[in-house]
Amino acid sequence: MSAPPDDLVAAATDAARGAYAPYSGFHVGAALLFDDGAVVPAANVENASFGLSLCAEANAVARAMTEGRRGGLVAVAIVGGRPDAAGAVVTGGEPVMPCGRCRQMLHELAALGGTDPEIIGVSESGLTRMSLSALLPHAFGPANLA
């Protein structure tokens, strides 16, 4: 993907409205784009037992794989911040890029189809766009267990 991914960012922004984050107050939406044009969105879901909280990207991977997807991951947009009075997420000065665990989960789905998806983080000043392989070099994945 080289054109500005406005639709994917919009999907991630909309997904953040579904966040359940009463403990951190930090709402995150992620949207996965596949090579058939499908977009799979998800939000973060926290728990009173804080360590059980689930990131938006992890939920999106689980959702896509539950739908039967095994590869074809082209791009991922992530939008995170605190919501305004109307519930819309307000991004800060630094983009939210996937945490380490989520990088690994995204790699599993991507590796199944042999793609290196573009990861797009949104900040108030614009987009940060990097390949997953740059964010997670020398990744451990399915090939290691083959």
- From candidates 12, 13, 15, 57, binder to ligand THU by CB under 6 A: 57
Q: Does 56 bind ligand THU (CB under 6 A)?
A: yes
Q: Restricting to residues 31-50, name those near ligand THU by CB under 6 A.
A: 44, 46
User: Can you list the alpha helix ranges (DSSP code H) found in 51-94?
Assistant: 56-66
- Tell me how far, at minimum, the Cβ of 145 lies from ligand THU, in Å: 26
Task: Please give the size of the binding site for ligand THU, defined by CB under 6 A.
Answer: 14
Q: Least distance from C-beta 85 to ligand THU, angstroms?
A: 20
Distance of CA 69 to the CA centre of its chain: 16
Sole binder of ligand THU in the list 33, 96, 110, 120 (CB under 6 A): 96
Footprint of ligand THU on 124-143 (CB under 6 A) = none
- Single residue of 10, 17, 18, 26 touching ligand THU by CB under 6 A: 26
94 is catalytic: no
Size of the chain in residues: 146
Question: Nearest to residue 65, comparing CAs of 27, 29, 111?
Answer: 111
Of residues 46, 57, 67, 108, which has the active-site annotation?
A: 57
DSSP H or E segment with residue 140:
none
98 belongs to the binding site for ligand THU (CB under 6 A): yes
**CA nearest 83: which of 18, 127, 7, 39?**
18
User: How far are the Cα atoms of 44, 73, 108 from residue 144, in angstroms, in the given order?
Assistant: 29, 20, 11
